[in-house]
Structure 1
Amino acid sequence: MSKKNKQTKNEPCVLLGIPDGDIEADNDVYVTKLGGLPIWLEPSKPPSSKVCQCRICHKPMYLIFQSYVPLQGSPYHRVLYVWACNRRSCMRKDGSFSVIRSHIIDKDYLKAQRQKEEENRKKEEKKKAAAAKQQQAFGNGFQLGDLWDNSSGSFGSTPSLGNGFGMKKSLTTTAASAVASTAFGASTEKDTNQADLVKQLNELGIEDPVDVANLPQFPGQYLYIDEEQTDTYESMTIDLSRYKEYLDMEKDMLMDIDAGNSGETWQGETYEKQHLPKGVDKQFKKFTERVECAPSQCVRYEFNGQPLFYSALRPQDQQRMTSPCKYCKAPRVFEFQLMPNILSILPTTEFASKESAAKPNDGQIKHADAKTVLDSWNVGMEFGTILVFVCQKDCHQGAIDDVSYMEETAIVQYEVD
């Protein structure tokens, strides 16, 4: 007997990113998209190339997701980038995926804040001057003390738990999106020369800045944002027989490759023969049932919400989830996750095949080692889901008026552990 799942009024809303067509002009930092090239909040100050470099093969990774996601009550423009290596041999190893959170202060907010601080400073100077005159009138025995308050404003205040996921700057009501009529990031001054730019990047600790022109890229795909609806469908007992058939077929394929290697196995390689589960993972079943509500979803967004796990959480992943922010030591919270449908939207296999060497024939396979066979049959990246955890306080590193790039935590769950 099936049970009907209903979303209660008190239950947080999960936002879904759904494919919405090809991107023709990929130049808008305020969109939510798959693929394409990164669009920086401050184009003249890109991050270090290390943020998009695979730590396994040391080659540039592909941007697979970018979203403009300001938080309610925050004075910052905020963009999140997710990078992934498209080499199958790099999968299941730490460093083949990365997440970057970028900040820059809203110019209008900063201008208004500095005007307010200047007004407060002048008021305090007048109070000091009046106090000094009064002290002179009554003699040196009367001390009023220093009335100056050194508070620096509310730049570091903790944002409220809200989001602007998928919202254009003209539609967002947060302070972070109150942008002037000119395009954000447009400079009213002359372009700085190369020496000044290098100096600025060095001051930010940015060495070897990213050259977007040299990055590999998938075709860009827009995402439109919709609320997840769980009150219009009945939970079904998903028939996982086809999944079991797939596991059996994969097992047979791996056995054939081992036989072709004259009885040698892939033991000793990180991406070797999989340890197939004895039964279907309960988390996977729950994942499948929930996703059945909207099969085309590519992103699930819920700041400070609960992720939808693809499989049972490993102890090392649990530790990474609960570890504090490496910049300010605040707790980490879940923000969003990328879904496996992305792999059917982005041409990962096609692009990986272009980069790989020619595939060996049957005669060559018999004399090739396992790693060579794997590399030659590179079909690109894989994942079940990518869970992204961020600093709860949304901390900003560096000077208040500088662009900032912070590395966040990506936990990748795969189809077979």
Structure 2
Amino acid sequence: MEKKQEEESAKAECTHHDNNVELGFIEEVDDELLLTNQFFPSKVGGKPVWLDLQGIPSAASLTCKNCGNVMQFLIQLYCPVDGESACFHRTIYIFCCRDGQCHQRSAQDCFLVFRSQLPRNNSFYSSQPPDRQNPQNSYDNSLLTKWCSLCSLCGIPSEKKCAKCGTPYCCRQHQVFDWKHGHRENCTSAAKTPIFASNDYLFPQYDVCIDDDDEDNDNDDADSKSDHPTDSKLTGENYHDYIKSDLANQITEADIKSVEDHNHDEEFLEFKEKIRLQPDQILRYKRNGIPLWISSKDIPSSSDIPGCSCGAKRIFEFQIMPQLLHYLKIENSQTSIDWGILLVYTCSKNCLHNNNDKSSNGYMKEFLWRQNYSSAETKS
């Protein structure tokens, strides 16, 4: 009964959303130099761009508890905190298991969130802003090799090397994958991993552009429509119109039923209205704000959000929207990765040390809550 009352209270609070929300949108990568360490990027897919170059999470700390495989980098968000010198630079990383069957069991076992932060004066970066107009002036290709060795396949710390050419890998599994997907033909004693190497293992890489929520401006309604097709269960478009779109072959009977069920869900109706003008948003950011729920089900109570190991309360910081799934080019099936929204909660005090995980050093574990579309789906 107490749990139900807390959920109802949280739902009541959510009727008063703060308009000062920043939205994240996908953009194609124009200059890959701008997605390197010195430019503190926000990005989706590819390899993670680490902020603190010491104490980077290892393969062991990024292992899915369900299947035992190393998780894959999903997204990172550069989000400094004004007025906190220790957070002059600050990035949050999300990793996930690629196996959709793991996601059907428990989100807490197949997602991981890490927070990293640095003061303005640190061991890795200039205290002066990088030159974004001429990025080659700020780019230092020796930065990574000076501080760390990263897996050629996924970009997390390496623990193994190819015996012939010395290419680094985080685990045997990734070495075997790379061997089967091209390294066998390209392995030479002089081989070097290209700086911006991509591969079939990674999610597609995109830049993330952050903008203010302009939901009150209805004058640009026509101009605000996305150029990308989006799922009708997200935008509220009529299913018969949607089925004519480029994504029609991806929809399932379960999706159709989900739309019908959600037509009577007040939270989902509000969700559709909030994203109506900018339906291609993949992220909503408002530190210590209130999430935009996608369902009236599985709204976490205060007891569902664990406190930080430092003793401080965790607060909501941002949410990943379901639209991101489209850009990841994941096969749509009953066993594929799926979510309604992903909510990230972080330490309210931005602590610097995790008392329960000394191996993480500058990377603090944070908390993610997954809310699905339907109550029939497995709860996080």
Give the Cα separation in 2 of the matches to 1:23 and 1:277.
41
Q: Is the 8 A contact 2:56 2:362 kept in 1?
A: no
For the structure 1 residues 212 and 21, does the alpha-carbon distance in structure 2 shift closer, same or farther, using more than 3 Å as the test?
farther
For the structure 1 residues 312 and 394, does the alpha-carbon distance in structure 2 shift closer, same or farther, using more than 3 Å as the test?
same
Q: Is residue 242 of structure 1 aligned with residue 252 of structure 2?
A: no
Between the two structures, name the one with larger relative contact order (CA 8 Å, sep ≥ 6).
Answer: 1
Bigger Cα Rg? 1
Where do residues 340-359 of structure 1 align in structure 2 (5 Å cutoff)? 340-349=322-331
Q: Tell me what 2:213 maps to.
A: 228
Give the Cα separation in 2 of the matches to 1:192 and 1:249.
50
Structure 1: which amino acid aligns with 2:282? Answer: C
For the structure 1 residues 280 and 59, does the alpha-carbon distance in structure 2 shift closer, same or farther, using more than 3 Å as the test?
farther
What stretches of structure 2 of length at least 5 have no aligned partner? 1-16, 150-156, 161-167, 178-200, 222-234, 376-380
**C-alpha deviations, 1:346-394, integer Å up to 9, x for none?**
11228xxxxxxxxxxxxxxxxxxxxxxxxxx665310011010101111
1:101 paired residue among 89, 106, 115: 115
Structure 2: which amino acid aligns with 1:91? Answer: H
Q: Tell me what 1:396 maps to.
A: 352
Where do residues 330-349 of structure 1 align in structure 2 (5 Å cutoff)? 330-349=312-331
SS of corresponding position for 1:343: helix
For the structure 1 residues 212 and 301, does the alpha-carbon distance in structure 2 shift closer, same or farther, using more than 3 Å as the test?
farther
Give the Cα separation in 1 of the matches to 2:67 and 2:95.
14
Structure 2: which amino acid aligns with 1:242? Answer: Y
Question: Would you say how many aligned residue pairs link Structure 1 and Structure 2?
Answer: 279
For the structure 1 residues 344 and 248, does the alpha-carbon distance in structure 2 shift closer, same or farther, using more than 3 Å as the test?
closer
SS of corresponding position for 2:271: helix
SS of corresponding position for 2:207: strand
2:102 paired residue among 66, 74, 90: 90
2:202 paired residue among 202, 207, 217: 217
2:80 paired residue among 70, 76, 83: 70
Where do residues 16-415 of structure 1 align in structure 2 (5 Å cutoff)? 16-22=23-29, 25=32, 27-29=35-37, 30-43=40-53, 45-73=55-83, 74-76=85-87, 77-92=89-104, 93=106, 94-107=108-121, 169-170=129-130, 191=146, 211=169, 214=174, 216-233=201-218, 242=239, 249-250=253-254, 280-314=264-298, 318-321=302-305, 323-326=306-309, 328-349=310-331, 380-397=336-353, 404-415=362-373
For the structure 1 residues 109 and 82, does the alpha-carbon distance in structure 2 shift closer, same or farther, using more than 3 Å as the test?
closer
Structure 1: which amino acid aligns with 2:343? Answer: L
Structure 2: which amino acid aligns with 1:230? Answer: E
Structure 2: which amino acid aligns with 1:392? Answer: S
SS of corresponding position for 2:32: coil
For the structure 1 residues 396 and 186, does the alpha-carbon distance in structure 2 shift closer, same or farther, using more than 3 Å as the test?
farther
Q: Percent identity?
A: 25
Give the Cα separation in 1 of the matches to 2:95 and 2:27.
21
Q: Is the 8 A contact 1:43 1:185 kept in 2?
A: no
What stretches of structure 1 of length at least 5 have no aligned partner? 1-9, 111-167, 173-180, 195-205, 254-273, 351-376
Give the Cα separation in 1 of the matches to 2:55 and 2:236.
51
TM-score relative to the length of structure 1: 0.56
Q: Is the 8 A contact 1:386 1:412 kept in 2?
A: yes
Give the Cα separation in 2 of the matches to 1:289 and 1:408.
30
For the structure 1 residues 307 and 171, does the alpha-carbon distance in structure 2 shift closer, same or farther, using more than 3 Å as the test?
farther
**C-alpha deviations, 1:142-191, integer Å up to 9, x for none?**
xxxxxxxxxxxxxxxxxxxxxxxxxx95599xxxxxxxx96699769x95
For the structure 1 residues 169 and 332, does the alpha-carbon distance in structure 2 shift closer, same or farther, using more than 3 Å as the test?
farther
TM-score relative to the length of structure 2: 0.60
For the structure 1 residues 296 and 182, does the alpha-carbon distance in structure 2 shift closer, same or farther, using more than 3 Å as the test?
closer
For the structure 1 residues 103 and 186, does the alpha-carbon distance in structure 2 shift closer, same or farther, using more than 3 Å as the test?
farther
